[in-house]
Structure 1
Amino acid sequence: MRAYVLVTAGAIGLAAAIIGAAAIPHRMAAAPSWEEPVPSPAPVAMTTVPPKHQPQGPPTRLRVPRIGVDTPLVTLGLDKAGKLEAPKVYDKAGWFRGGPSPGDVGPAVLAGHVDSKAGPAVFYRLHELKVGDKIEVRRGKDTVTFTVTVVTKHPKDGFPTAAVYGPTPGPELRLVTCGGVFDRLRNSYRDNVVVFAVTQPAQVIPKSAAG
């Protein structure tokens, strides 16, 4: 079985540069194939504020202690059809480089496979996360720490586009993968698992302070 999740058998997609939620394909099948996004949503509520210390450089590593994830991050672009390209590996998560970086203002999206024909993949245990769990993203000399606020599961025809891709006043993070029942006829999972997390200024830790 394959599955994927920003970031398998089913997943999400993003638009380029300045993201408009209505331009974001958000699901990926194992083939992969893509479906159209839902209509343009309203902005989500403000939940965070920009950090005083601004991390620099692209995200390079993801750590999620509760579920044993410690992986380099690959970058994901758009294919010729303007849709998010599938990660080429199953044991690494991917960051969509056309959207915000983790620690920058806006919803940064990281996507990863849930499994493959060989077995569990990088986000196999994503659904086990709990409110209050920590997620760390490495950027240059800094570590940006996020706190999980909610873990959700949605049918693919009910993907929460507005909540995942809508503008935010501060740095936020979304981790996305597939979940639920595997549909063998479609070669795709029926649901998406989406983890929402936020950070506060004190949680952006320069390397000199972190040791």
Structure 2
Amino acid sequence: MSLRTPALMISACLVAATGCVGSTGAARPDDSGTRLSQSPSSTPSSSSAEPVLPARRAESVVAPRRPVRATLPSGRVVPVSGAGTTGTGVLDVPDDVDVAGWWRGGSRIGDPFGSILVAAHVDSDSEGLGPFAELLTVREGARVRLEAHGLRQDFEVRSRRLVPQGSLVDDAWIYDAAGDLRLTLVTCAPPYDASRGGYQNLAVVTARPLGPPEAA
């Protein structure tokens, strides 16, 4: 099965996405409402200028890290490996149903916004059902824990939706790098129709953080 965005595809139960962030700067008015300027007469002399200290990360700010493990509501622990895309834009989900793939272009634990996209196959001809099969029946309020090296964050399931295979033009929330931070878990969903390429839907589970990341 496959999933397509205008620029990317997601197959084998998943999705890929891109995002960009830009910023602009502008002169800041002073308290009187006039625009600050620097002229030879107003520029402080080098002798009176205070030294500029190098920027330092605040202790309260967490350095984002990619997930390496997910604990599903059942308690099943699933290893998470990084997943890129093929030359045709297909998310390269691990073949092993017991291993999930985190899209490297998505958000990480510790990022302030965006979708942390983690996907896995629902089953396999040789391995049977995989752990992500429980997403087909997961309920609102269930807990999922995502872990990185030295960091963990708990999430609560808010919704489970079936999304038809195909273009994701109208479903950018699955992979969007903007918006509130969320964990997005994806796997294949029935019906299965071999003549039409396999599973016809995706099960997309969205979970929101219960709090900030914690040291593991």
Normalising by structure 1, we get a TM-score of: 0.70
2:130 to 121, 127, 133: 121
Q: How does 1:1-211 map to 2 (within 5 A)?
A: 10=1, 12=3, 22-26=6-10, 28-29=11-12, 53-54=61-62, 56-64=64-72, 66-104=73-111, 105-118=113-126, 119-157=128-166, 159=168, 161-200=171-210, 202-207=211-216
Aligned CA RMSD, in angstroms, stands at 2.8
Regions of 4+ moved over 6 Å: none
Please list every run of 5 or more consecutive structure 1 residues that lacks an aligned counterpart in the other structure: 1-9, 14-20, 38-51
SS of residue paired to 1:143: strand
Cα 1:147–1:55 shift into 2, 3 Å: farther
Of structures 1 and 2, the one scoring higher in RCO (CA 8 A, sep 6+) is 1
SS of residue paired to 1:192: strand
Distance 2:122 2:85 in 1: 21
Distance 2:122 2:77 in 1: 15
More helix by share: 1
Amino-acid identity (%): 26
Cα contact 1:11–1:192 (8 A) shared by 2: no
Cα contact 1:142–1:206 (8 A) shared by 2: yes
Normalising by structure 2, we get a TM-score of: 0.69
Cα contact 2:107–2:177 (8 A) shared by 1: no
Distance 2:8 2:103 in 1: 12
Cα contact 1:12–1:176 (8 A) shared by 2: no
Aligned length: 171
